[in-house]
Structure 1
Amino acid sequence: MVQMAKGVGVEFNFDTQILTNTFDAHRLTMFAKTQGLMHEMTERILRAYYTESKHIGDHSTLIELAVEVGLNREEVTKMLASTSMSNEVRADEQEASEYGIRSIPFFLVNKKYAISGAQATEVFVESMNSIIDQDGLSKELTEDGQACDEDGCEIPKR
């Protein structure tokens, strides 16, 4: 996996990784979603964990990462000191359990097609083309591109 990642310009440092409880990192990601920064927060946490070997279970580390992506230090500190966003994380865990998701990465498309594990680009392309064909979706996108957010992407019907 390390070699595959290097091939696409991603660095994994499993040998120096700090294993920890990631619940608060997930709460922070949910908080970032309320501020329109979920993608940025997720990317920053993943880089901190897999590449920089930062302790993402530590509140001070999470606060610094949050500030880096543009979140308010005081709001993040207050959120982490509370139980805020716990219900949202537990709801995600419940939904993952209902879909039988037990590992990451895991991609759920249209809430019915699953792509599990780190896969080659060709596998994703083939899977997505198959899903598009099966669901009768259009492969054409609008001139300004497709709009996606934390909740997914809208693909126009044929």
Structure 2
Amino acid sequence: MTATLIYCYDPMCSWCWGFRPTWTKLQKALQPLIDQDQLTIQPMLGGLAVDSDIAMPNDMKTKLEATWKNIQATLGTEFNFDFWRTTTPRRSTYPACRACYVARDTGLEEEMYHAIQEAYYLNAKNPSDLDTLIECAEHIGMNPDGFQKSMQHVKNQRLLEEEIDQARHLGLNSFPSLALLIGDKLTLIPLDYKDHNSMLESIKKAL
């Protein structure tokens, strides 16, 4: 029986950005298991914040900027703090999640995820805005018109919300989260933001 490693994330989750280098190393270390058909990796969108056109309150902006500074101090992750002064942030991550959902259909989910992270954290662009997401889609080679139509379809059919409900049902309520599914048994994998080896051992042990 092939086990499934679920990676639950939100493209606008700053801890997911901090986790990215270690997650990349873990995926590489797991490749032999994937090649032997012992394991598959399944991304799952978490959905931090629903659609909103309301500007983020100042106290939330201050709190989130402090979180970025904490991640930078703890993990050495690079952030462009101009974001908090040059854009109008909104507490809305569902559009960015939908963009990753749409990109999944063409096998470009990880590329979209990384494009959104880099636009947001390095280039101070706002992924709550459709324009930013269209730029990201073009950057990874997607057709902008087709992308916009697919985004609207995913929204109309509430496909993202279905996936978020599934994540909640599995108890994946924080991002990033890792869980190993073998048959109907789910094992949460404790995260280590600095070293992939402890997670690799946890996965091998559960297998």
Aligned pairs, number:
129
- Counterpart in 2 of 1:98? 169
The structure with the greater share of residues assigned to strand is 2
Offset at residue 116 of structure 1 (A):
5.2
- Counterpart in 2 of 1:113? 187
* Secondary structure at the counterpart of residue 172 of structure 2: coil
Offset at residue 115 of structure 1 (A):
3.5
1:51 and 1:19 mapped to 2: Cα distance?
A: 18
Offset at residue 95 of structure 1 (A):
1.6
Offset at residue 76 of structure 1 (A):
1.3
- Counterpart in 1 of 2:154? 84
Give the structure-2-normalised TM-score.
Answer: 0.54
1:21 and 1:50 mapped to 2: Cα distance?
A: 15
Deviations 1:33-72 (A, max 9, x none): 1111111001111122222221111111110111001100
Q: Which amino acid is 2:160 matched to? A: V
* Secondary structure at the counterpart of residue 158 of structure 2: helix
Are residue 72 (structure 1) and residue 143 (structure 2) matched? Answer: yes
1:69 and 1:98 mapped to 2: Cα distance?
A: 32
- Counterpart in 2 of 1:129? 201
RMSD over aligned Cα, in angstroms?
A: 2.4
For residues 104 and 19 of structure 1, do their structure 2 counterparts lie closer, same or farther at Cα, with a shift above 3 Å needed? farther
- Counterpart in 2 of 1:21? 92
Unaligned runs of 5+ residues in structure 2 are 1-70
* Secondary structure at the counterpart of residue 92 of structure 2: coil
Q: Tell me if the contact between 1:29 and 1:42 (Cα under 8 Å) persists in the aligned partners.
A: yes
Are residue 3 (structure 1) and residue 77 (structure 2) matched? Answer: no
2:168 and 2:72 mapped to 1: Cα distance?
A: 28
Deviations 1:78-115 (A, max 9, x none): 233x2425533112211211122222111223362223
Q: Tell me if the contact between 1:103 and 1:117 (Cα under 8 Å) persists in the aligned partners.
A: no
Q: Tell me if the contact between 2:192 and 2:199 (Cα under 8 Å) persists in the aligned partners.
A: no
Unaligned runs of 5+ residues in structure 1 are 136-158
Deviations 1:117-148 (A, max 9, x none): 56221xx312321331232xxxxxxxxxxxxx
Give the structure-1-normalised TM-score.
Answer: 0.69
1:12 and 1:117 mapped to 2: Cα distance?
A: 21
Identity %: 26
